[in-house]
Amino acid sequence: MDVSMRAQLLEKTVLIDGREQNVYGLATFKTRPSRSGIGTHCLRAFEGITKRDGKYCIVGSCDDEKTLQFYLKAGYYAQGKFEGKFLFTSVPVKSLIVKENW
């Protein structure tokens, strides 16, 4: 089986629950083949990297509800929209304010 993965974790600052927090922004994330469990394992690895580097959480966005459902099934939390994209975080938060698209 050929497996490929492409991801970008960018250092970003967002407002979470009224406080500025350093996070990793998940800018790009694709795995092949899809539906093989590889994506979920990669997300867990990203969470470990986030903790190791002292970041608050992972914040990402996606264009459609089908992709959002993947993140929700992987244990992520929906956080509304920004510029028409669905936002999600790796930890539950009460409020999230993102000021830039990545």
From first to last of its 102 residues, the chain has per-residue pLDDT tens of 788 899 999 999 999 999 999 999 999 999 988 887 899 999 999 999 999 999 999 999 999 999 999 999 999 999 999 999 999 999 999 999 999 988
How far apart are the two ends of the chain, measured CA to CA in Å? Answer: 32
| Rounded Cα–Cα distance for residues 25 and 48 (Å) | 14
Residue 101 in any domain: the answer is: no
Is position 12 within any domain? yes
Residue 51 inside a domain? The answer is: yes
Inside any domain, residue 27: yes
Q: CA triplet 102, 8, 83: central angle to 5 degrees?
A: 20
Model pLDDT, residue 35: 80
Q: Which domain holds residue 26?
A: 4-92
Residue 1 is predicted with a pLDDT of 75
Evaluate whether residue 52 is within a structural domain: yes
CA distance 25 to 5: 17
Q: How many domains does the chain have?
A: 1
CATH of the domain at 84: 3.40.630.30
Domain-located, residue 98: no
In a domain, 40, yes or no: yes
In a domain, 99, yes or no: no
* pTM, to two decimals: 0.91
